[in-house]
Amino acid sequence: MFSKQDNKPPSGYVRIVAGALLLGVAFVPQISPAATVNELVAKAKQEGVLNATVTSSLTGKTTQQLAAAFKKRFGLDIEITLTPVGDTENYPKAIAETRTGVVPTYDAMEGSETHNLALMRVGGIQKIDDWESLAGGINSYVRSGKAHADQLSPAVLNGFAFAYLTRIKALIYNPRLISIKDLPRTHAELADPKYKGKWTQPPWTTHWEPGPMVFPDIGKEKWLEIVRNAGKNAGTVLPENPGVQRVLLGEYAFTPANTYYAFQAKAKDPQAPIEITYFKDYNLMTSSYYIVRKGARRPAGATLFSFWMATPEAKAIWQPAIFVTQFMWGESELDKKVRQLIHDSGAKLVDFISTEKGRDLLAWYGTEEGVKYTQSMGKAIRGE
């Protein structure tokens, strides 16, 4: 079509294409991250108030610091109420609010993936369009590429919920009562008679839930039997914090629990008789996510806050108070230390969100059959 010397397209053609492109650009509603953030800030100023939850372990002093830092970051002069509340108490109420069509109590909330999936199913979460740009505009971890989009808002929660911290479960033990080499290496070994009565476990099923995903050949019923045998072998059943305290007291030698309890105790007293070891078969990793409630009174402030809580400046405030990490992308000393510990131990981390198998299992746990299975698992933990 074009001769060699006519290699350049005709100027008229260029003009048309360029014009079309310009026209296209003009009609695509793309706004630069900075502009979007600025728009949100302007709207948040108009809203004047923000009502959000924070994890229940954040005490009054830390919440005040968080509110002040958030306002400073965006130049906001608004009234902020950050309420420490457990997602266990809060999400059922949020689900009831959504299902009855009531205006949400909180504009932004934080909770586990399970809670958020449940709230998402009833339509209680506002989807944030173009959230990657926003995250990039607010969070330097995202801008620098350290935190990936699929880590911040994984497929199943894409655009609805935004991770800000990660909890890892492992085995917490009292080195004065048992040495690391004598500890059980796998979950199944918890049923070994030599540990009879020496340990405590929490009543919830979270620790045991990944079993069918990690050991697909064993079968769900066989796994349940393992849980039951371990349940009969445990000294008692206690929620994680009281369980860790009984390990510290010297009553029990070890307990499966979130590792931050050990970091917390060590931060208060480096000589505290408590150590962490990871199971060789699997260690469950769960994340907490911020969401904006659908129908929230102040969606702009809530959106800003939801993304801001994952930033390094926010983490510098909440992490020293609760000792939870941003395992996947964090750069703090604690983040690095935990990554190193896991690397050195060769521990296998699993979660329900990042793999197809995990998502399938999580979805199955939400079915009637799955609910019955977890109920049986709850009983098996108590040795029934």
Partner 1 sequence: MQEVQAIKQARGSGPAARGLKGAIGRAEIPNLIPLTSSWLILLLIVSQLLFVFYMTFVPGLPTDPGWTLKHWTNVMHTRMLTKVIPNTVVVGFGTILVATFFALPLAWLLNRTSLPFRNTFITLMAVAVIVPGFLKAMGWIMLLNERIGLVNKAIGALLGIARIPLSVTDNPWGIGWVMGLMLTPTMFFLVSGPMRALDPALEEAAEVAGNSEWSITWRVSLPLIWPAILAGIIYTFMTAISVFEVPALLGAASGKVPVLATELFYAVRPSGPDVADLAYGAGGVYGLLIALPSLVALYFYLRSLTQARRYEVITGKAYRPRDIDLGPLKWLGLGFVGLYLLLAVILPLLVLFWASVLPYLQMPSAEALSKVSLVNYRDLLAAIGGMSILWNTVILTVSVALLVLFFSLMVSWVVVRTQTRFAKTMDIIAMLPHAIPGLAFAFALAMLAIFVAKWFPSVPFQGTLGIIVLANVITKIAYGTRITNAALVQVQADLEECAQLCGARNLTVIFRVLMPLIKPSLVFAGLWTCLLTFREVTLTLFLAESHNRVLAVSIWQLWQSGNVGTAAAGGVIMVLVMSVMVFAMLKLAGGILIEQRRVGLTNVRG
Check binding of 287 to partner 1 (CB under 8 A): no
The total number of residues written for the chain in this structure: 384
Q: How far is the CB of 94 from partner 1 (least distance, A)?
A: 9
Check binding of 9 to partner 1 (CB under 8 A): no
Part of the chain binding partner 1 (CB under 8 A), chosen from 35-43, 83-91, 275-283, 337-345: 83-91
Check binding of 69 to partner 1 (CB under 8 A): no
131 neighbors 33 (Cβ within 8 angstroms): no
Question: For tokens 């609010």, what's the residue?
Answer: 97
Check binding of 81 to partner 1 (CB under 8 A): yes
Check binding of 322 to partner 1 (CB under 8 A): yes
Check binding of 332 to partner 1 (CB under 8 A): no
Alpha carbon distance 332, 319 (integer Å): 9
- In the complex with partner 1, the residue whose CB is nearer, 136 or 231, is 231
Alpha carbon distance 371, 173 (integer Å): 31
Check binding of 203 to partner 1 (CB under 8 A): yes
Q: How far is the CB of 213 from partner 1 (least distance, A)?
A: 16
Part of the chain binding partner 1 (CB under 8 A), chosen from 67-75, 98-106, 128-136, 219-227: 98-106
Per-residue 3-state assignment (H helix, E strand, C coil) for the chain: CCCCCCCCCCHHHHHHHHHHHHHHHHHCCCCCHHHHHHHHHHHHHHHCEEEEEECCCCCHHHHHHHHHHHHHHHCCCCEEEEEECCHHHHHHHHHHHHHHCCCCCCCEEEEEHHHHHHHHHCCCECCCCCHHHHHHHHCHHHHCCCCCHHHHCCHHHCCCEEEEEEEEEEEEECCCCCCHHHCCCCCHHHHCHHHCCCEEECCCCCCCCCHHHHCCCCCHHHHHHHHHHHHHHCCEECCHHHHHHHHHHCCCCEEEEECHHHHHHHHHCCCCCCEEECCCCCEEEEEEEEEEECCCCCHHHHHHHHHHCCCHHHHHHHHHHHCCECCCCCCCHHHHHHHHHHHHHCCCEECCCCCHHHHHHHHHHCCHHHHHHHHHHHHHHCCC
Check binding of 87 to partner 1 (CB under 8 A): yes
Check binding of 367 to partner 1 (CB under 8 A): no
Alpha carbon distance 350, 143 (integer Å): 27
Q: How far is the CB of 275 from partner 1 (least distance, A)?
A: 14
Alpha carbon distance 259, 171 (integer Å): 8
Token reading at 186: 């796998």
Check binding of 83 to partner 1 (CB under 8 A): yes
- In the complex with partner 1, the residue whose CB is nearer, 38 or 374, is 374
- What residues numbered 20-39 form the site for partner 1, per CB under 8 A? none
Part of the chain binding partner 1 (CB under 8 A), chosen from 38-46, 100-108, 145-153, 181-189: 100-108
Part of the chain binding partner 1 (CB under 8 A), chosen from 5-13, 21-29, 86-94, 308-316: 86-94
Question: Beta strands 283-292 and 200-201: pairing type?
Answer: unpaired
Q: How far is the CB of 185 from partner 1 (least distance, A)?
A: 24
- In the complex with partner 1, the residue whose CB is nearer, 48 or 203, is 203
- In the complex with partner 1, the residue whose CB is nearer, 141 or 263, is 263
- What residues numbered 118-147 form the site for partner 1, per CB under 8 A? 118-119
Check binding of 206 to partner 1 (CB under 8 A): yes
- In the complex with partner 1, the residue whose CB is nearer, 122 or 349, is 122
- What residues numbered 220-279 form the site for partner 1, per CB under 8 A? 231, 234-239, 241-242, 244-246, 248-251, 260-261, 264-265, 268-269, 271-272
Q: How far is the CB of 64 from partner 1 (least distance, A)?
A: 7
Q: With CB under 8 A, what is the number of residues at the site for partner 1?
A: 73
For partner 1, the binding residue among 15, 61, 72, 127 (CB under 8 A) is 61
Part of the chain binding partner 1 (CB under 8 A), chosen from 5-13, 115-123, 215-223, 300-308: 115-123
Q: How far is the CB of 17 from partner 1 (least distance, A)?
A: 52
Q: How far is the CB of 264 from partner 1 (least distance, A)?
A: 5
237 neighbors 202 (Cβ within 8 angstroms): yes
